[in-house]
Amino acid sequence: MEAPQTNGLSYLDQWEIPRSSLKLLKRLGAGQFGEVYEGLWNNTTPVAVKTLKQGTMDSQDFLREAQIMKSLRHPKLIQLYAVCTQEEPIYIITELMSNGSLLEYLQKDDGAKLGIQDQIEMVAQVAAGMAFLELQNYIHRDLAARNVLVGDNNICKVADFGLARVFINENIYEAKEGTKFPVKWTAPEAMHTGKFTIKSDVWSFGVLLYEVITFGQMPYPTMTNYQVVTQVPTGYRMPAPASCPKVMYELMADCWKEDEHQRPTFETLQWRLEGFFDDVTSYDDASRY
């Protein structure tokens, strides 16, 4: 069988491993373009294996995620371990996170037991991963609880770099015409112009905060995508969820400022969140509002 054209992820690449060194143990999920499995590498290392279903998308587009992950090494970003590109289906092999996506975790029994301090510590980790992307001039473009993975001890890491892009000029990435957006997570300026910046990721982070505080509730729960597209640009914002600490809702509101330049950086978000639990009295204060 002819090997797929992979431009830079070939058998000469240090990331390439023999397919025989992998055992696929359990399917974790499936999507439009392929499946994700729990696997074992060299009979010793638990891994996640993302596969590309033949004929669903260009192999180079699929492997762009691996190319991005090669250059992004940070404790709060999912780490690339290896690839298998010499025959189909192509595999991307990454570290395995024991509790799956943050969205699923929040909706399960274990997630339901999280207190506000746990929630703040988890979103602070997401902010730390995104602050590194910010520093490296990357835009994620699909930040949401479904694209954050959870390991033991509530360790959180940003995942799914399939839509991520590096920006060099003007700090803007312009999506192709016809590109579909996750409407309820997309900043209004990105929705209407197709232009994404790190500040549109900050908007999405505000929506992720809402997801975490509501234990995985759908954002804008009573609204259709069309209503969101028409009402958010004219000033509508989600109200504070029940029992949401005032300081957390203020953070969401800062992420949702109409003027993107007034939204905080991820570095600022990280230190503000970490500051909440550095000072235990913050919880006491928050609970009074």
Please state the separation of Cα 144 from the chain's center in Å: 5
Distance CA 239, CA 253 (A): 9
Is 64 labelled as part of a ligand binding site? no
Is 160 labelled as part of a ligand binding site? yes
Task: Identify the active-site residue in 118, 142, 152, 278.
Answer: 142
**What's the token pair of residue 225?**
């995508």
Is 147 labelled as part of a ligand binding site? yes
Reply yes or no on whether 58 is catalytic.
no
Catalytic residues: 142
The annotated binding site is made up of 50, 146-147, 160
